[in-house]
A and B are shown apart, each in its own frame.
Chain A
């Protein structure tokens, strides 16, 4: 017998996450994978994995995309709803922990704080032009030390005397770390110092002026890091709650939104899109001095979407270009 499933896709800067849930909001399938520079092929791979795991019994009845690649992937897979990642993350956290007051979400390039009062989002903030409090900094440090990110996480929690590392700027944090290693500090103490620095940076930049109340939910890719979890509880003196699907909360929230959107006929273009070649190309429109870049998506050579351009004349225009 066929059952319905709702698909949530979170296409971020670092990872592509996919969640399929049933109408009772139980997760049927979830996956977290690294984008590796090509969001379309990583989405195709994730969808193939979902198809293999779920078989033909699950009929996709609604799709919601989120993350910085939401518009591109929305056009590629045929999304019914396209939602920003701040709202999907909040939706997921409130659904799993209805009493939540503060949500910390730390991803690859974004870190954000969302304040929730009585189950409604009242305020949020997102990092600006600084990567000091995000996952990509942890990544680059792990690469520099020749260890994996899970290793970094496991080692940091072993520290008994964390060193102090300046967290204002990643470049100076790195020179501070090198200085500590040259003076003979143990690696786990340096790594835990790094986690402290990242959390301090997050709290003083992103959370500046925000009223942090417990319970706090910590989610996003970086929430898997034990060192970061420890740093939060040591600095705030509050143990953050790690939700069940903490790595894929954006996709979870998106699937939740899709399931509640009352979609009658989904625009999902089917699993077949995974095996076709989908390409994007862009051209500079020269009709006015704005010189906008217009992006076209081609599915097996056929134009399926055209967007971009400030005057909006290209939106939805599918006629062949001269």
Chain B
């Protein structure tokens, strides 16, 4: 187990990071000029890391598959970014942010990492404001905050519903400054297809130029993977179409352990699938659950009539509706955490109460909120004896001011007016807590290969809290990695430039080319999407919101069989040595077909329910919590890090025991 040394510094929790920064090795400015670093991915983590490393003086090469670093999928994050600034004076602190994050993660993350995250969170806001990120402000000119799910303070900074966009454009502008200085060489429309190891250390990558199809060699003294999460494994998700696991999976195949792949977050409020043609799902912000009530019809006949278009939801009387979250969780009601809300929606739909034509949707109803706000507004604006219509109109105005852009987006996609008829929503995959295993320095089990942001496993445990993804990406990129990587690179100041005409590069390039050739040589029976959709179905049905031993075992076999079929029969048109989007997709789906199997194996191994991972075998048997998730701290209080051994099902498990010195482990209850 020595390989899983988390390298957590000694000493009291609150002093660890400061002490670590004071004692690790530094590289002097003159030597930094002679050191090259590759950064794969230019989202919040990669973009901020690249800019900061270049500011420090390293020579940075960035790679992204998009046509510009500005288009990385961090851009789609809506809600906000947490920071323990305590600007609202509501009792927030570094400790509270740390505590909320560990608890929210269902006690499956590392205390020291999360505390560091909370510590640097305040620096992120200062840094972004200095860059000109236009956060929302109050009339006094100071920064505004909002509250987010699962916490008792207002610590979320935001820029309307486009916080991710504004933060990413901030990191992109910092990158641009370094590109102009010549310290970053930006490679767009490039995809990393392998990592090159020399003497056991990461020393470069093989990349494909997506415009020309050319296979290129790039060397460096260290490689940073900031390539995001792997949720597209499920085919339908809120990820971008191009989001993929390829960079991290190639690193896994070369020796980087993959941690907790089964921890994925399924967000309860997304616009449901409308048909087989669907390519992507759209999130409706979590904030809607503050005012919307979730329900399905009480009687199955009514649900069937609605599905057949013979009945409208507004025709059902109050007593004919089942507000199942309020019924099951009277204390938290519609504001239960994401994992609980998602599972409850699935349970009702599986039981036959789902509402749109596919039967996979529940209602999110604003009628009560419109009524309540309307009455309030009528009272405060002095309208005596308002009519029902007046109240509705006033209430709609209030709701529009709060959620107008979301309602408009919904109407564009679904073609229904959500002010007049309840919204339909259903859970969808939207974040991966699992990822490459990293130590406290964000180094993977390959020396010189680092992972940052969603690509690593480190900070969110088994469930991520809202507005914490942006915080972690920028913490890793701006404030953690640029320090910790110096400790490793201090040993490389005499190494000199890494040549690319070596047997290791020859071999890696050959393997990449062989694989492309093999993809192009399929018998041509089915398109790449055919396989991706099939994989998505297996994942969703057997490794989705609720999992059991039988399904997971079947999934492992089915994915292996699908993978075999894929390699024999996939059809990739066009040529390898030119622009070929189908070939790009084929390579990514091939990797998903391996990850899926490991995902199922990890879910099978973890015979407990924690956070986003729910095992039907591990539920509370009696008492008030009967039927709810049952965590098993005695047997599973560890990080599952998998070592590649050929077929994914043969991966070898390494455990990193999680030690809780500062926080007491408790059951999460929402009854």
Please determine whether chains A and B interact with each other in the same assembly: no
Which positions in A face B, CB cutoff 8 Å? none
Which positions in B face A, CB cutoff 8 Å? none
